[in-house]
Structure 1
């Protein structure tokens, strides 16, 4: 399978009027959803083990999904080396809608930076989870959205060190967040 969904937005919405959640797992050859993207009423999107699809994420047109609240992206350890055009910064400007309340990124082995401008556009974001991003060195200079109520980081040693309560270099950027879990421990 290399593509799913019909080819026009009206056809997508009329064919899938009740579709609120999509989970795609272990489709290493899947490259796109269609030229028209996702159903407009989508609330949750979970993509894991689909490196070609994640490599083409700028074609997803998530900005137009005003109902999207939850996004989970994982390259999975088995597919990390298969991705074309490694992810070194995330999220790109214009990729994510401001309606997101939950974002999880996992196993982005080449991720080195988080885009602060893009994060500040996520004005509804309440939960952020960063897992197994071993090359991620620090949080954005601009910090994270003030709306964030829950931050979970594990499997990302450099970032975990920088986010330690009181002593970490990034602690001032996250101390406003009510619930913080670093390395499987609430701090």
Structure 2
């Protein structure tokens, strides 16, 4: 399911979303992602989030303003967040089934905070995030310990 350009949408329609939904893309619907109803999707395995830009600026993801992401996720894609500076590991640690994390088109992203990304990750893909790409490629001491446990790391279209 794909929901796009609904910046005023705050909740999912009651009874209108199949509980067996496995894949969801949400673009420019920040208020919707702040609603805890996202955690009700027990079967959701793929979530794509993009263009989060409400009246405020999203500098950190996930942060306390956002609802908990469903623990059933195996794949998470974050795209087009132009003011994102920091990826918070702590906000992702409950995603114990997460195998793939894709981060694209976040030109200000340069930090990964917290101890490390979830141990279940087997693929990390970072593209069109020049500041973070540079730090990953040079195995920066503030970044590398947080991602080095991941078997497949693709940065800027190249495996490192």
Answer whether TM exceeds 0.5 for this pair. Answer: yes
Deviations 1:114-161 (A, max 9, x none): 222211111110000011111112112211001000000011111112
Q: Which has the higher contact order (CA 8 A, sep 6+)?
A: 2
Aligned residue for 1:168?
A: 140
Q: Is the contact between residue 43 and residue 70 of structure 1 (CA under 8 Å) also seen in structure 2?
A: yes
Greater mean deviation of Cα atoms: 94-103 or 56-65: 56-65
Moved over 6 A (4+): none
Aligned residue for 1:42?
A: 21
Aligned residue for 1:23?
A: 2
Q: Is the contact between residue 98 and residue 123 of structure 1 (CA under 8 Å) also seen in structure 2?
A: yes
Greater mean deviation of Cα atoms: 117-126 or 156-165: 156-165
Aligned residue for 1:3?
A: none
Aligned residue for 1:64?
A: 40
Matches within 5 A, 1:141-180: 141-164=114-137, 167-169=139-141, 170-180=143-153
5+ long unaligned stretches in structure 1: 1-21
Aligned pair count?
A: 156
Larger Rg: 1
Choose between structure 1 and 2: higher strand proportion. Answer: 2
TM-score (norm 2): 0.85
5+ long unaligned stretches in structure 2: none
Choose between structure 1 and 2: higher helix proportion. Answer: 1
Aligned residue for 1:125?
A: 98
User: Are residues 1:74 and 2:50 paired?
Assistant: yes
TM-score (norm 1): 0.74
Q: Distance in 1 between matches of 2:49 and 2:159?
A: 23
Q: Distance in 2 between matches of 1:142 and 1:151?
A: 16
RMSD, matched Cα: 2.2
User: Are residues 1:109 and 2:82 paired?
Assistant: yes
Q: Distance in 1 between matches of 2:118 and 2:156?
A: 21
